Structure 1
Amino acid sequence: MMTPKLLLFACVSWMCGHVMAVPAPGGFCSAKSNGDYKHPNSCGEHIKCSNGMAHVFDCPVNLVWHDGLKRCEYVSDDAACNNPPPFSCVGRPSGNYAYPGDCSKFYMCSNEHKWAMDCPATTHYDVSLKVCNHVVDANCVL
């Protein structure tokens, strides 16, 4: 039989992914009631306050926190979080991919995780070579 702590972690990790007990920004939970709150610095995370302790949760890929519904959704009640769906590495092979709208950047995918990368100065991402290349040779088209 699972202890209550293990059962809570198993249910939470199944529903929302990764959980980590951390001190939230500026003592976030110190004056809040137990419950779920919008993360002050991230649309894709939320904070569960429990007895003054903050537990930070990630929303699943391509979902954002909806504070009114108190759950991860495709659309947030915070307009700043409702940009077009972000680039995702889920379902893509590991490798480099163009960064939409910016030739000086690219995404690096590894095992379905993504990292936004900057090309060095005077270079652009070259889609055909999948590396940063001299601006005149990269042929980047937005």
Structure 2
Amino acid sequence: MMDKNDYPFKTEVSPSDIYQIIIEFFKNKKELSDDVLEWLYCNYADIALDALNIIDKFKIQKIISNSNQILYRVNINKFEKVICLPEVYYCSCDKYITEVIVFQKENMCAHLLSSIIVHNIPINIDEIKLSNEDFAKVLMSM
């Protein structure tokens, strides 16, 4: 069991530092272990289960360009998809735009959290390799 001092709390962290804190926590993690799940729940109780559900139901895809650029596409339903760029801490969903960027009520959405998890912990998800031109088209579709 981890001590509460092992967890960075949302209120003590600026949004620009969140990704680095998550990366540091995930460093050398090889799976979604109990301590990772506990950390996610302690820091992101409101979205952690949704993020894990996105991964569990294979709703997230890793898209890689020929030049090794990476983005993640989350399939919300048959017709709606969002693009996540975990390294620049961005999601194209409405909640991210309104709650994170505009009103600053949240520091991330479930889509972004799921992309950060799969970007840093080896989890089996669909990978799609695209030419740089096709990758740019996907990116512009946001």
| TM tier relative to shorter chain | under 0.3
Question: Higher strand fraction: Structure 1 or Structure 2?
Answer: 1
Question: Higher helix fraction: Structure 1 or Structure 2?
Answer: 2
Which protein, 1 or 2, shows the higher relative CO under an 8 Å CA cutoff with sep ≥ 6? 2
TM-score (norm 2): 0.27
Answer with 1 or 2: which has the greater Rg.
1
TM-score (norm 1): 0.27
